[in-house]
Amino acid sequence: MGKYDKYFLKGVQPWYEDAPGPTVVHMDDTHIKGSHYYFVHWVLKAPTGMPGLDAWGEISHGPHIHKDAELLFHIGTNPDDPMDLGAEVELYMGEEMEKHVITESCVVYIPPGFIHCPWRIKKVDRPWLFIEVNQGPLHTEKSYPQLVPEKDRKMMLFFDERYGEGTKIVLPEGITTQHEGVWVTPDKDK
């Protein structure tokens, strides 16, 4: 083992197994001191890794904020047309839920404390890469389910993490992971 091997992370790490596609890397300050939060995974034609989730239209990430700025990279894999995402993704911005449709490779900047999402993959014609970067040492999130109609909430994933009330993850009905249903733990590192 080399002196600097700890700085080379690849594949699903033991601390993060639930992902909608094959994970390239998931890391934060608890894994490499001084690191920001990074989550990189493939988005395939159909979701994997979450039993009960068979098609992209069955799930979305509900409205929320973060303490730190966030970057959402949507990267197409067509070498002949790198701007073609090969997919269609909806992302809603602000309290008024302004809808944006993403069909090209892009980066979306989310300022700290800015309400964003639902984020919903509508269709995937060709696998692509998704990279989430929170510009803080740990992932933080506070959900705002009240911004979407109650009937839509049943298909949404909601996180509350590091806002002082422990960690709470609410999964859509019928979706199972290592944290079935509602997962709640105390905040150890706010």
Name the pLDDT band for 178 (thresholds 50, 70, 90). low
Alpha-carbon distance 186 to 160, whole Å? 11
Do 128 and 76 touch, CB atoms closer than 8 A? yes
Residue ranges covered by each domain of the chain: 18-185
Is 60 exceeded by the pLDDT of residue 190?
no
Is 60 exceeded by the pLDDT of residue 179?
no
Residue 180 confidence (pLDDT): 44
Is 80 exceeded by the pLDDT of residue 32?
yes
Name the pLDDT band for 183 (thresholds 50, 70, 90). very low
Mean pLDDT confidence for 58-81: 95
Please give the biggest Cα pair distance in the chain.
Answer: 53
Higher pLDDT, 171 or 59: 59
Is 70 exceeded by the pLDDT of residue 100?
yes
Long-range contacts of 13-21 (CB under 8 A, 24+ apart): 17/49, 17/178, 18/49, 18/50, 18/177, 18/178, 18/179, 19/49, 19/50, 20/47, 20/48, 20/49, 20/50, 20/53, 20/59, 21/47, 21/48, 21/49, 21/127, 21/130
Indicate the fold that domain 18-185 takes in CATH.
Jelly Rolls (2.60.120)
Weakest mean pLDDT among 85-94, 132-141, 142-151, 165-174: 165-174
What is the distance, to the nearest Å, from the Cα of residue 74 to the centroid of all Cα atoms in its chain? 12
Residue 129 confidence (pLDDT): 96
Do 90 and 186 touch, CB atoms closer than 8 A? no
Name the pLDDT band for 145 (thresholds 50, 70, 90). very high
Higher pLDDT, 180 or 111: 111
Residue 142 confidence (pLDDT): 93
Alpha-carbon distance 76 to 4, whole Å? 31
Alpha-carbon distance 99 to 112, whole Å? 19
Is 60 exceeded by the pLDDT of residue 188?
no
